[in-house]
Amino acid sequence: MHPPAHPFAQDVAHCSDHCGEQPTVWDLPNVPPALKREWLSLETRRHFLARGANALSWAGLASLLGGGASRALASTPAPGALRLPHQAPKAKRAIYLFQAGSPSQFETWDYKPALQDMFDKDLPESVRGGQVLTGMTASQARFPIAPSIYKFAQHGHSGHWMSELFPYTARIADDLCILKSVHTEAINHEPAILQITTGNMFPGRPSIGSWLSYGLGAVNEELPAFVVMTSKMPHRTNVQALSNRLWSSGFLSPEHAAVALRAGNDPVLHLGNPPGIDGDVRRAMIDGVNELNRQLFERVGDPETNARIAQYEMAFRMQTSVPELTDFSNEPQSTWDLYGPKAKEPGTFAYNCLMARRLAERGVRFTQIFLRSWDQHTNLPRNIKLMAEESDQPSYALVTDLKRRGLLDETLVIWGGEFGRTCYSQGVLSRENYGRDHHPRCFSMWMAGGGVRPGISYGETDDFSYNIVKDPVHIRDLHATMLHLFGLDHAKFSHKFQGLDQRLTGVLPAQVIDAILA
């Protein structure tokens, strides 16, 4: 933790913890005492109200806590209490292969042959339509069109046009539903990534996996319902920071946040018992801490105390479940052949994809893998090739592996970034080199399995992949469709917070995309 710049910043940074040991509002300088009193009375009221809202869950918990059982869920409805899903699900799990930084659609899935004859011509103003550009290209004197230097070919019975950068993914063409008309409002990475991971450009909202954990609970209670992994990068250019607000539980109880698995021998920090401490001692310690936390809850009534109890319990269960999960020694040679040699190196995208399959086998609801460094403003031809090489085989291997094990039907796999890129070159355009700026108006993603119709493409862009000409898919529509596959009606699946029925899809219109449902 960095030292807080503002006195309130410390409170904010510790809001998921308890404030008893922290400086209180009385310690703040230059605040009139009357205001402090008002603040504290509001605080008390907030706690009281939150406690009232959870009284019912507590009643349910009391029945769960037979004898020495110590599972605490007071800030979460008891399993099944939400009576979800609304309808029988198609997908039981999802694996989101997040390509952070945003792969260009021109070198991946949106084939634009007409651009080949327009090399270095100016982008017609009628196409751009006065759109405000980012500061990175707004000052360019011209917007010269940059066709893809990579070739495309059709693959499979589906006839998907796919770039030569993805020879492995081309083999699973008939399993893929390629969306070519996804769009967003965000034009910079952080708001764009937040919007696609949480449904809102502003931090503080629950991410998709947190909503699923909240609504559907865990299939395997020995593991978190929501797991995140970040991947080593084959090169580093314009790397975006990733932070846990992308996988936070927002206003949902903290136990719905993702557990981030680290690469290497210690996938969850501080999970192992130190020398001399055995499981029984650890159990007794946690029981004692939980009892203290229960007393704290009785006294203060902050529902997050119960989230803390639940997290201790999850950590205890993970002491057993995580070593088994991360022990790849029983994987046969065929696994390494499929995922490629990098899968043996912890932290690579290939390793993480294999881990995602193991998580899916064990029932983890939502696994999100981040692969960064797709942000190719310059030197795109060279760098996108490095990234494609990192992403291609493992993505193919994961889909193939899930399919042959009978898991793909109920596992939704998603591949994509946070926005698109421009058809014109950022910086100098040559026959061999160019860059592409951010472009929110259209981008491509693919999905497979989990009740999505395989072998189709949905949506169309114009010849410049600048504007959508058919079947736009807003991120809200994407989220509504994902929830639908899990049997959840996005319009009804809500959580009351700050006086509103908050939803992943927000309040603007969102549609399940019927045409891509299997």
Residues that bind another protein (CB under 8 A): 79-80, 82-89, 218-222, 361-363, 403-406, 409, 470-472, 474, 487, 489, 491-494, 501, 503, 508-509, 511, 514
Tokens standing for residue 360: 């899916």
Please give the backbone phi and psi of residue 358, each rounded to the nearest 5 degrees, phi first: -65, -35
Peptide bond into 113 cis (omega under 30): no
Closer of 78 and 233 to another protein (Cβ): 78
Closest to 102 measured CA to CA, from 331, 416, 316, 388: 416
Minimal distance, residue 224 CB to another protein, in Å: 13
Burial of 472 (0-12, 13-18, 19+ CB in 10 A): middle
Closer of 263 and 491 to another protein (Cβ): 491
Minimal distance, residue 470 CB to another protein, in Å: 7
Cα(94)–Cα(226) distance, rounded to whole angstroms?
10
Closer of 80 and 113 to another protein (Cβ): 80
Closer of 216 and 242 to another protein (Cβ): 216
Please give the backbone phi and psi of residue 34, each rounded to the nearest 5 degrees, phi first: -60, -40
In this structure, is the dihedral angle defined by the CA atoms of residues 392, 398, 399 and 403, taken in order, positive or negative?
positive
Minimal distance, residue 89 CB to another protein, in Å: 7
Encoded amino acid at 194, one letter:
L
In this structure, is the dihedral angle defined by the CA atoms of residues 346, 348, 354 and 360, taken in order, positive or negative?
positive
Cβ(98)–Cβ(371) below 8 Å: yes
Closer of 434 and 466 to another protein (Cβ): 466
Closer of 78 and 380 to another protein (Cβ): 78
Cβ(220)–Cβ(364) below 8 Å: yes
Minimal distance, residue 475 CB to another protein, in Å: 12
127, HSE (Cβ side, Cα atoms, 13 Å): 17
Cα(327)–Cα(334) distance, rounded to whole angstroms?
16
Minimal distance, residue 98 CB to another protein, in Å: 25
Cα(377)–Cα(383) distance, rounded to whole angstroms?
10
Minimal distance, residue 494 CB to another protein, in Å: 5
Minimal distance, residue 511 CB to another protein, in Å: 6
Tokens standing for residue 329: 């020694």
Closer of 432 and 514 to another protein (Cβ): 514
Residue with tokens 């999905």: 447
Closer of 14 and 358 to another protein (Cβ): 358
Closer of 190 and 331 to another protein (Cβ): 331
What letters, b where the CB count within 10 A reaches 16 and e where it falls short, cover 88-115?
A: ebbbbbbbbbbbbbbbbbbbbbbbbeeb
Minimal distance, residue 134 CB to another protein, in Å: 22
Minimal distance, residue 324 CB to another protein, in Å: 10
Cα(402)–Cα(395) distance, rounded to whole angstroms?
11
Terminal CA-CA length for the chain: 47
